Chain A
Amino acid sequence: MNHYKDNRDYARYLLDLIQKEADRPLTVMEVCGTHTVAIARSGLRELLPESIRLLSGPGCPVCVTDDLDLDLVIALAREKGIILATFGDMMRVPGTQSSLLQEKSRGADVRVVYSPADALTLAAENPDSEVVFLGVGFETTVPTVAVALEQAMRQGLKNFSVYSLHKLVPPVMKALLEDPDVKIDAFINPGHVCTILGSEPFRFIPEKYGRPCVVTGFEAVDILEAILIMLRQHKEKRPAVEIQYKRAVRPEGNPVARSFIEKYFEPVTARWRGIGEVPDSGLTLREEYAAYDAQRRFPLSITPGKRRKNCSCGEVLKGLKLPYECALFGKVCTPVKPVGPCMVSTEGSCAAYYRYGAQKAGVAH
């Protein structure tokens, strides 16, 4: 890796350039939760000129999981004979009444896995249980689930299924651009989603909406470089999708990974917490793989619980509110006793703001 990358002088040099060239307001949304954490941890928000405003977007797959979907998963986890395999960051997310962690403590068989491949091993080792893998994640994660699914078929594992709550980034970015309340001038594009997708699926954003999109790496200097690139695009009125994160993203993305997504999944309307239903923004298993679709195999109907009052995660996810503008932030809602998902998830913007401090708001933590 280039030795300048972690060199503070280089970061200072980029900041100087940004200070000099930032002559007008620019509201930038970082779509990805990993960028939110990188920005908070490096304190970039306070180093950038006032005219540049960084907003967090719906880029944490845990945070955007709708509580009704979570209530359905929790109900399934309670069923006898079900082993629910999930990534760890879904354990503490609150549905309307409970969470997977609480259900585990009440006896539900909920197990944390680090890869969909681990869920396959669980299915092979527990032939008389039904292993349901909770598929949460964006285009980066979906191909890994598709490969695991293919292996399950090849191994003839009949007790393995996927509960797909996967979400797609381009459709939700479009929904945000169509939302009159949301004011975004440019996007820091999610680096690893673009490792899979490439730049092509985002071209509609500069072409139809005139907003720059810069595919960005996760080091502080990557983010600074991206801001400089979008600042210049914005000033010179030449919005485009530009790849700053060249070491990991090619214009064509990863065609093999995309073919796996298309082979096993098809787009469907999905519920996003705080944003509502977004057409073609979720993924469901194709008809021919219905035998591996947990939602079809274990249909459950539950009475929808009451959504939590005055939790502003929805507005925070759309960049309409900053975490410390939520009435509960830092008081009723803290990482120890989180109310909303943006505080629960390590990549939630509220958790990032709380942990790395939001000096501007003088929030005591």
Chain B
Amino acid sequence: MCLAIPAKITKINGMIAEVDIGGNIKEINITLTPEAKIGDYVLIHAGFAIQVIDEKAAEEIFEAWEVAYESLQRQ
């Protein structure tokens, strides 16, 4: 339905950015994520970045689960 893949921005020129997707370089449009910077991971859909991925948030959500997960390991 709405496949979107994460990729890292390596170059920006105007509204066009270069991203590295598993080693190959592709041009995408970043009009929908004007705040995106080089080094950011963005979600790409139909040739456009639709969101800058929040790595920190990804970690946060798992802190709670990791604590519980570690307790399982100790049983």
Contact = CB atoms under 8 A, between A and B. Distances in A.
A347 interface: yes
Interface in A74-127: 87, 114-118
Interface string A174-217: 00000000000000001111011000000000000000000000
A192 B47 contact: no
Nearest to B35: A256
Interface in B19-66: 29, 31-34, 43, 45-48, 50-51, 53-55, 57-62, 65-66
B31 A114 contact: no
A256 B34 CA distance: 8
Contacts of A330: none
A60 interface: yes
Interface residues of B, number: 31
B29 A248 contact: no
Contacts, number: 116
A147 interface: yes
B53 to A, nearest CB: 5
Nearest to A256: B32
Contacts of B29: 115, 117, 144, 147
A116 B59 CA distance: 34
Nearest to A1: B58
A114 B47 contact: yes
Given A2-B58, A147-B32, A192 B43 contact: yes
B54 to A, nearest CB: 6
A129 interface: no
Interface stretch (A39-47, A133-141, A286-294, A353-361): A133-141
B66 A4 contact: yes
Interface of A: 1-2, 4-5, 9-10, 13, 32-34, 59-61, 87, 114-118, 137-138, 140-141, 143-144, 147, 190-193, 195-196, 225, 244, 246-250, 254, 256-257, 260, 347
A138 B69 CA distance: 36
A254 B52 CA distance: 10
A241 B47 CA distance: 29
Given A4-B62, A195-B51, A257-B32, A141 B57 contact: no
A106 to B, nearest CB: 28
Contact of A138 (B2, B33, B58, B65): B2
Contacts of B57: 246-247
B64 to A, nearest CB: 10
30 contacts: A1-B58, A2-B59, A2-B62, A4-B66, A5-B62, A10-B69, A13-B68, A33-B1, A59-B1, A114-B47, A116-B46, A137-B2, A138-B2, A144-B32, A144-B46, A144-B47, A192-B3, A192-B50, A193-B2, A244-B61, A246-B57, A246-B58, A246-B60, A247-B53, A247-B61, A249-B51, A250-B54, A254-B32, A254-B50, A254-B51
Contacts of B46: 87, 114-116, 137, 141, 144
Nearest to B48: A144
Nearest to B32: A257
Contacts of B53: 247-248
Nearest to B15: A147
A4 B58 CA distance: 11
B4 interface: yes
